């Protein structure tokens, strides 16, 4: 059997609200998940159910109170913050609800930056960024800054940036939550095309259940647990 690209076991997350009163909020209550390379896995659920908290833990942006997270055979819970930051840069990509592009840089520069941070030369970064921006359909907007792009174009640039360092997994947190219906549908199609043509693995938190239903697998976050839904 092929080893999963990501697996987690017994993930708990507890937030302390009042140290003196020893009160807190137990958001995640023992979550197990296995994701294989080339899958699109979607997580749905009500606001405040813990979807984004789980995504942040799976992607190494946060640490669990208890449990283990493996990227292939590497347990990311046990590594130092510095080592985890390096692993994130070379292993995973991120797309958020709000694009988080750097406003002072062009679309091309925004995609080049993560490549150069991880020791790519300027010429290599430019070549790769142009290739990605063409792939996501914004090749005519290379020199435009985020404020000069539509919401859909901004998210396409954000997707290109997420792919900059050939990540094994792309994590997306409500990637269409800030888009109109047309742009949202176009971004959905882009993600599915990248999965189909590049075998790109996606783990996506979304409130859009129609979008989620097209995934290979769908889970609902409810009462701190992850429940598999029938496809």
Q: What is the DSSP string of 34-89?
A: EE-TT-EEEEE--TTSSHHHHHHHHTTSS--SEEEEEETTEETTSS-HHHHHHHHH
- Residue range 75-128, pLDDT digits in tens: 999 999 999 988 888 889 998 877 788 999 999 999 999 888 877 688 989 999
> What pLDDT is stored for residue 20 in this prediction?
63
pTM of the full structure: 0.87
| Rounded-to-integer distance, Cα 13 and Cα 161, Å | 29
The CATH number of residue 159's host domain is: 3.40.50.300
Question: Does 163 reside within a domain?
Answer: yes
State yes or no: pLDDT of 23 exceeds 70. no
Question: Does 15 reside within a domain?
Answer: no
> What pLDDT is stored for residue 189 in this prediction?
87
Question: Does 53 reside within a domain?
Answer: yes
Provide the residue range defining the domain that includes 171: 41-63+80-229
CA angle 54-60-125, nearest 5°?
Answer: 125
| Rounded-to-integer distance, Cα 146 and Cα 149, Å | 5
Closest CA to 45 of 216, 204, 215: 204
Report the side by side order of strands in the sheet with 66-71.
Answer: 23-35, 6-18, 66-71, 74-75
| Rounded-to-integer distance, Cα 188 and Cα 175, Å | 9
Question: Does 138 reside within a domain?
Answer: yes
Please say whether the beta carbons of 181 and 146 come within 8 A: no
The phi, psi pair for 50, rounded to 5°, reads 110, 5
Question: Does 214 reside within a domain?
Answer: yes
Please say whether the beta carbons of 139 and 130 come within 8 A: yes
State yes or no: pLDDT of 58 exceeds 80. yes
Who wins on pLDDT, 213 or 69?
69
Question: Does 146 reside within a domain?
Answer: yes
> What pLDDT is stored for residue 18 in this prediction?
63
Instruction: Indicate the number of domains in the chain.
Output: 1
Question: Does 75 reside within a domain?
Answer: no
Proportion of the chain above pLDDT 90, given as a percent: 44
The pair of three-digit structure tokens given for residue 125, joined into one six-digit string: 């970064």
Question: Does 160 reside within a domain?
Answer: yes
Q: What is the DSSP letter of 3?
A: P
């Amino acid at each position: 059997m092929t080893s999963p690209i990501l697996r987690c076991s017994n993930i708990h997350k507890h937030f302390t609200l009042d140290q003196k009163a020893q009160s807190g909020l137990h958001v995640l209550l023992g979550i197990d998940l296995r994701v294989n390379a080339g899958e699109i896995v979607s997580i749905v659920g009500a606001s405040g159910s813990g979807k984004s908290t789980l995504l942040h833990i799976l992607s190494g942006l946060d640490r669990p109170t208890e449990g283990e997270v493996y990227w292939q055979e590497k347990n990311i819970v046990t590594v130092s913050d510095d080592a985890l930051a390096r692993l994130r840069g070379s292993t995973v990509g991120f797309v958020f609800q709000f694009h988080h592009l750097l406003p002072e840089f062009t679309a091309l520069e925004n995609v080049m930056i993560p490549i150069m941070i991880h020791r790519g030369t300027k010429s290599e970064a430019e070549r790769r960024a142009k290739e990605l921006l063409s792939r996501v359909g914004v090749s005519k907007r290379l020199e435009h800054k985020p404020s000069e792009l539509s919401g859909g174009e901004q998210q396409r640039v954000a997707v290109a940036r997420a792919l900059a360092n050939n990540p094994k997994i792309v994590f997306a947190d409500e990637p269409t939550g800030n888009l109109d219906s047309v742009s949202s549908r176009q971004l959905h199609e882009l993600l599915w095309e990248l999965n189909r043509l590049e075998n790109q693995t996606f783990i996506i938190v979304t409130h859009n259940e129609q979008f989620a239903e097209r995934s290979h697998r769908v889970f609902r976050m409810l009462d701190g647990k992850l429940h598999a839904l029938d496809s």
